[in-house]
Structure 1
Amino acid sequence: MNLFNIIRSKYGQDTVKLVRAQEKIVRKAARTRHHRVFALHCKRLNITPKGLQLKCPINPSNAEKIIKDAENRLVRESIRKSTKSIKVLKRQEKEIEQRLDESFNDVRNNNNNRPKPIGVNPSSHVVRGNTRKHLNNVRESEFARVKARQIKKLKWWRQSKENKYKFTNGNRFKWKIVERKWVVNLSSRPLSSDEQNVLSKGLNYAVSGDRNKSRSIEEIIVSTEMICKLDSIPLDEKDTIRGKVTSILKSSKPPLPNLSRTERNAFEGLKKDKEVMILPADKGRATVVINTEDYIYEQHEGIAMGSPVSHLIANIYLESFEEEAIKSADGTIKRHFWRRYVDDVFAIVHKDAPLPLNRHLDSIDPSGKIKFTTEIMSEKQITFLDMIIRIKQDGTLATKVYRKPTHTDQYLDFHSNHPLEHKLSVVNTLVDRANTIVSEEEDKKQELKHIRKALKICNYPKWSVDRVVSKRKEQNSKTSQKNVKERKWRR
């Protein structure tokens, strides 16, 4: 016999209505809960659901920023509203459950003047158990249905974002392809889209949501016990250490996975493939995939690459090399300014001296293997390290940031499982470089605009850049006020 027929014959139509009401609330709670999860994913991925997107009848330069800020607020309001609705639905579900418990327990009153079912007479706890099982099935089926639909939406949005699309300033519905030369495949193995996505995150991308959580906890406990075995630590401090570690392990929550299931499978497949090697590019920040048999590296002379003392030894040698070059230069090579950083030299010489100076530097090394290249100022500007030095019309110098053609604008991905301080240090470094190197205000605005675009591609939220920029402005304001006070005091 059907569950509802049993409830109707044994407990009456009112009880059936209660079960139907709870079933309705369970479905709504499952939908609301997954809508909240979907909104949280949208907030994390910095995308706006279609139902919350806004249209602007005008097209000023800052219209897109205003619309995006409003859409972000709508997403946050959607999360808040869903959280509040879940609490209300839980309370309603609990109230109906209490009424159902009272109805099922009051068998004697519910069976008065009511015909009993033929061939079946289940007890109250069996009927209640079957009702709970039915409601759980309803909850799971509704949750699975909504989840499949939301995953389909998120997959489309992620593919759009990972295919390097972004809005243009002219029209928010026109897309522009952003080239990201972050993966160079030189191997014979074709890379799938998931493998491309994983490799484009960078070789320093830390994967979270490890399945071996219990193993990592065991390693922490074993390490703690090894420390506590040291005789130098007092007994009471050992108990304190154990207590603090236990408290941290109990209260800590594992980070959410930052790779999808297909991306994780692609990641594991690349790790197991011994026929290819994944290496960083020699110039620029990119990931190179190459056949293992094609990768051959032999160093025949020089100091070891990667050694912590190699940089120091190279600098000492170049310092002696520089002294010998300056001392042995003849009078025809006139230099008015000379500054060196490792193997890069910025020099101001006579217009006829660059080629003789280059030949002289190439002749210093007895082996003849150290050769120099010369870059001469063109159109009143020249590059040195990460700077472009330009001569202005009034004769003064202006500087701004220089990026080599091999530069890819790839930085630590914000979704990587790194501490937040490490990610914000990327923003600090870029903003500080802009404030230090760039001398003109207009160039500084363009540099900050470039930083925002590059970090947006690396999934950095808008607040991360705004916080650093406002903090630096506040520090500069305090410094200028302090300098003004010092000048007044000296007077």
Structure 2
Amino acid sequence: MNFQVKFKNDYGEDCLKTVRNLERTGKKLARHQNHLRFNLHCKHHDVTPVSLKLSSTVKGNKANSILKRAERQLLNVRISQTIQKIDYLNKEKGRLDSCVEQKLPGELVEEVRSRVNRSQIWEHGVTKERQINKFGRLLQKNQEQTSRSLPSECIHKWVKNCSDRLLRDPELSVLVKGLNFAATDRHVPVVEIVTQTELACRKIPDREAHLLRSKVSNLLNKPKKKQSNLSKEEQEALKSLRQDKNIVILPADKGRLTVVLNKEDYKQKCSELLRDNNTYLRLGKRDPTSSYKNELKAVLQRFQEEVGNTQHHIKNSQQFAEVIKQARVEEDEELRSYDVTALFTSVPVDKAVDVILQRLKEDQTLSERTTLKPEQLADLLRVCLNCTYFVYDGIFYKQIHGAAMGSPVSPIVCNLYLEHLEQRALRTAPHPPLWWYRYVDDTHTKLKKTYADEFTDHLNSLDPDIKFTFEKEENRSLAFLDTLTTVQEDGSLRVTIYRKPTHTDQYLNFQSEHPLEHKLSVVRTLFHRAETVITDPQDKQKEKLHITQALKTCGYPTWAIEKATAPKPPSPSDTTQNNASRGKNRGIVVLPYVKGVSEGLRRIFTSHGIKTCFRPANTLRNILVAPKDKTPKEQKCGVIYHIKCQGQNIRGPCTETYIGETERSLKTRFLEHKRPSSKTSEVSQHIHIESPGHSVSLDKVEILDTEPDFFARGIKEAIYIRALQPSLNRDGGRHRLPATYNPLLTESRVLST
């Protein structure tokens, strides 16, 4: 018999009506909770629901601003009313539940509550799915409208097409987001997350490590539906741009401009640069790495037996503004900015090393930091600075003059040499500048007008390799770093923000798959610069309005700007909490950011005293920008590889496989596997003893992952062995991976990352 009919016969129609009202109230509550979440998401992403869209026959920016403000106020009212409705439904549900409890016996009350709860959960799931889909469509439509509504001057300012390819609107829509824009990845990077979790577990007790693994595994096993931050047309455009081999996409040297070039034009320009025999030497197709390796080894075998400390050094524009805000410039004085032409390729390496050697000899504390002698350090530095070879279009070249751009040691060496040159120039000048502030190769100076040209000639006479160019003040204003210094009528200085002609006002797009704190830090940095660098209050206000408009063009909603710029009230418990967290700190993990997953991972790691940082995983730069020669597969080092037997059995192709890892080149390790005399290689045992006549090919070896760190590489090897179950591996790898991850490490999940 039907439950409701039986219930009516046993307890009467009034009691059945109360139970039905309780069930309906539960369903209403589920719908309103999802409705509230939908509206809060709309507010968070600055999206207006269709039902609240307003229109007017009055056109113009001011009318649109009024409509937008009204729509936001209506959304706030709807959120407030929904909260009130949820409170009312909770009270009503409680009242009806009490009525049921009074009218029915205890065991039946529990059965009714169970049925009502199941009904409410089902309604919640259905409504949630519907609201998620609705919000996804709304957000995608809003993104498309935002892309289309970008002013044409922004598109031309942010994207420069110098190729023969005609960029369609969806392609422009992708490129205009900026190369630091991170596209949503459809797959959760399980391998990276598990690897970082295992690295963190090395620093905590075994029992706590087991708990941490369980929490991470449970979180990753929960299915998450991810809404892409690119429309379908934009996704197709991104794929098309990536597959086009006739173009090269690069960031401009200055500003945040994305440049599209014909590949042939790019190669021709590179060839012209490399034909400069005074700077580059063609080495041919032979890789000189081994010769440099031997040279460095020889230097090290003989070992068996500071920057920016001068008063003229400027750390940043904030320090510069602080230093000169009380300064004055008289009528017979002028401002000049000096800059070194092609600093990195101009610095004489031998002279720079001699300067650094002398500094090391004068350093009384050197013996406290290292056991190496100054001469030994100088020899090592010389080897590093002379290791300037690179490969382009399959040919090796060597930079024969100056320090290599991109080398981490080059900025330090150039800075130290300029520091030496600076001290020499100021010490020997007949009429030195009244002030001299330097940031790397840019300087801001005040000189007497009579001696300005004399000092310029003096600078350029110090070293034939280093040539200084200069800029004079224009209309009593001079740019330095990102500041503009203007001399007032009374001689005082006014400092404002300076933007180069190549500046594009493009910042991290708010729809990018970056953590919210990354986006808010963009806002804080810009407003902090305006507050600390600019000296005049009116200029500060003007700059803040400019920043706000630029950020809104990049998709930043008003709430994000307000949240980032709101003053943070001091909390008396901050010090206690910081001390507690420092005491419990157990290291740091760096995870690829996945919206909706990374936030949960952070809570888990933080509860165990492990600090969590996020990095964007799928930026347009990684996807589209690839101008350099790719390293051949066999030369790659620090890889996890997958070897498949190429032999034939009676039943068909051999299915034996092996997974391993190596810090050396793949070719070196592969040849060891193939060697008949190898007794430790499972691959060698298979092809030479167990299945004679079978073979393996380097061309068929698949690189599963790349990892330079020794411990992390061992963890990744164990992950791939667990997921792919290679038949030739005798064990699970050198890292003992716990069974906690077994439900998570499926072949489809691991290979998709």
Q: 1:177 to 1:200 in 2, by over 3 A?
A: closer
User: Does the residue aligned with 1:471 lie in a helix, a strand or coil?
Assistant: coil
Q: Kindly report which structure 2 residues correspond to 1:447-466, keeping only aligned pairs within 5 A, or say none.
A: 447-466=543-562
Tell me which of 500, 506, 525 is aligned to 1:429. 525
- Matches of 2:449 and 2:198, distance apart in 1: 71
* C-alpha contact (below 8 Å) 2:426/2:432 kept by paired residues: no
1:453–1:247: structure 2 CA closer, same or farther, 3 Å change rule? Answer: same
- Does residue 363 of the first structure (1) align with residue 461 of the second (2)? yes
Deviation at residue 188 of structure 1 after TM alignment: 2.1
CA spacing shift, 1:339–1:179, aligned 2, 3 Å: same
State the SS of the aligned residue for 1:263: helix
Shift of 1:288: 1.2
Instruction: Indicate yes or no: 2:233 matched with 1:248.
Output: no
**For 2:244 and 2:413, how far apart are their aligned partners in 1?**
38
Distance 2:512 2:446 in 1: 45
State whether residues 56 and 63 of structure 1, in contact with CA within 8 Å, keep that contact through their aligned partners in structure 2. Answer: no
Counterpart among 281, 291, 295 of residue 262 in structure 2: 291
Mapping for residues 176-325 of structure 1, pairs under 5 Å = 178=154, 181-208=157-184, 210-213=185-188, 216-217=189-190, 220-221=193-194, 224=197, 234-250=205-221, 253=224, 255-296=226-267, 297=270, 298=274, 300=399, 301-325=401-425
CA contact (8 A) 1:400 1:439 kept: yes
Q: CA deviation at 1:180?
A: 5.1
Q: Aligned ranges for residues 134-145 of structure 1 at < 5 Å?
A: none
Note the C-alpha offset of 1:414.
Answer: 1.0
Q: Which residue of 1 aligns with 2:428?
A: 328
Q: Secondary structure at the match of 1:295?
A: helix
Matches within 5 A, 1:56-205: 68-77=68-77, 158-165=143-150, 178=154, 181-205=157-181
Asked whether the 8 Å contact 2:495–2:534 carries over to 1, the reply is: yes
* Residues 361, 163 of structure 1: alpha-carbon distance in 2 compared, 3 angstrom cutoff: farther
Note the C-alpha offset of 1:77. Answer: 4.7
Q: Give, in angstroms, the shift of residue 177 of structure 1.
A: 6.3
Are the equivalent residues in 2 in contact too, given 1:164–1:178 (CA < 8 A)?
Answer: no
- Quickly say closer, same or farther: Cα 1:302–1:49, change in 2 above 3 A: farther
Name the aligned partner's letter for residue 281 of structure 1: A
> Which residue in 2 is equivalent to 1:342?
440
Match of 1:385 among 481, 501, 510: 481
Kindly state the Cα deviation for residue 246 of structure 1 after the two structures are TM-superposed.
2.2
Check whether the contact 1:207–1:417 (CA below 8 A) recurs between aligned residues: yes
Tell me what 1:101 maps to: none
Number of aligned residues:
371
Match of 1:272, as an amino acid? Answer: Q
For the 8 Å contact 2:44–2:559, the answer to whether it is kept is no
Partners of 1:432 and 1:223 lie apart in 2 by 34
Which amino acid in 1 is paired with 2:187?
Answer: N
Shift of 1:199: 1.1
SS at match of 2:174: helix
The answer to whether the 8 Å contact 2:250/2:258 transfers is yes
Greater length-normalized contact order (CA 8 Å, ≥ 6 residues apart): 2
Unpaired runs of at least 5, structure 1: 1-28, 89-138, 167-175, 476-491
| Separation (CA, whole Å) in 2 of partners of 1:155 and 1:248 | 27
In the superposition, relative to structure 1, how do residues 276 and 177 fare at CA in structure 2: closer, same or farther (>3 Å)?
closer
Distance in 2, Cα, partners of 1:80 & 1:238: 44
Distance 1:405 1:261, change over 3 A: same
Cα deviation digits, residues 10-61 of structure 1 (max 9, x gap): xxxxxxxxxxxxxxxxxxx99xx9999799568635457585326699x9x9
Length-normalised TM-score, structure 1: 0.64
Contact preservation (8 Å) 2:181, 2:508: yes
Deviation at 1:164?
4.1
Distance 1:382 1:220 in 2: 49
User: Which residue of the other structure, out of 478, 503, 521, is the alignment partner of 1:407?
Assistant: 503
1: CA distance, partners of 2:191 / 2:82: 38
Contact 2:140–2:231 (Cα < 8 Å) also in 1:
no
Instruction: Describe the SS at the equivalent of 2:485.
Output: strand
Alignment of 1:452-491 (within 5 A): 452-471=548-567
Give the equivalent residue in structure 1 for 2:542. 446
Amino acid of the residue matched to residue 164 of structure 2? Answer: S
Structure 1 residues 251 and 470 mapped into 2: Cα distance closer, same or farther (>3 Å)?
same
Alpha-carbon separation, structure 2, partners of 1:452 and 1:287: 23
Letter in 1 for 2:424: E
Of 392-401 and 340-349, deviating more is: 392-401
Matched residue type, 1:392: Q
**Aligned mates of 1:355, 1:218 — CA distance in 2:** 62
1:384 positional shift: 1.4
Aligned to 1:104: none
1:277 deviates by 1.8
Equivalent in the alignment of 1:44: 45
Deviates more, 1:248-257 or 1:409-418: 248-257
Separation in 2 of the partners of 1:154 and 1:338? 53
Q: Secondary structure at the match of 1:207?
A: coil
CA distance in 1, matches of 2:40, 2:214: 38
**Equivalent residue number for residue 482 of structure 1:** none
**In the aligned structure 1, how far is the partner of 2:410 from the partner of 2:473?**
32
Alpha-carbon distance in 2 for matches of 1:50, 1:360: 72
* Distance in 1, Cα, partners of 2:81 & 2:153: 35
User: 1:56-90 deviations in whole A, cap 9, x for unaligned?
Assistant: 99x9x9987665333213235557879979xx9xx
CA RMSD between the two structures: 4.2
One-letter identity of the residue aligned with 1:381? S
Q: What is the alpha-carbon distance in structure 1 between the residues aligned to residue 139 and residue 209 of structure 2? A: 48
SS of equivalent to 2:437: strand
Q: State the 1:356 CA deviation.
A: 2.3
Query: Is the strand fraction higher in 1 or 2?
Result: 2
Partners of 1:42 and 1:49 within 8 A in 2 = no
Counterpart residue identity of residue 161, structure 1: T
- Structure 1 177/48 Cα, relative in aligned 2: closer, same or farther at 3 Å? farther
1:394 aligns with 2:490: yes
TM-score (norm 2): 0.43
Task: Evaluate the alpha carbon distance shift between residue 42 and residue 422 of structure 1 in structure 2; reply closer, same or farther with a 3 A threshold.
Answer: closer
Q: Once the two structures are superposed, what CA deviation does each residue of 1:317-367 show, in whole Å capped at 9, x if it has no partner?
A: 1101112222332x2x35222211111111111113232222222222223
**Contact 2:523–2:565 under 8 Å retained in 1:** no
Q: Contact 2:418 / 2:441 at 8 angstroms: preserved in 1?
A: yes
Q: Take 1:261 and 1:286, find their aligned partners in 2: how far apart are those partners?
A: 24
Residue deviations 1:72-116 (CA, integer Å, cap 9, x gap): 13235557879979xx9xxxxxxxxxxxxxxxxxxxxxxxxxxxx
* Secondary structure, counterpart of 2:562 in structure 1: helix
Q: Equivalent residue of 2:469, what SS? A: coil
Aligned equivalents of 1:198, 1:327: Cα separation in 2: 54
Query: Per-residue CA shift, 1:118-165, capped at 9, x if unaligned?
Result: xxxxxxxxxxxxxxxxxxxxx9xxx9xx98xx96x9877655432344
Say whether the 8 Å CA contact 1:279–1:289 is kept in structure 2: yes
**Structure 1 pair 50–449 and aligned structure 2 pair: CA distance change class (3 A):** farther
- Cα distance between partner residues in 1 of 2:480 and 2:467: 18
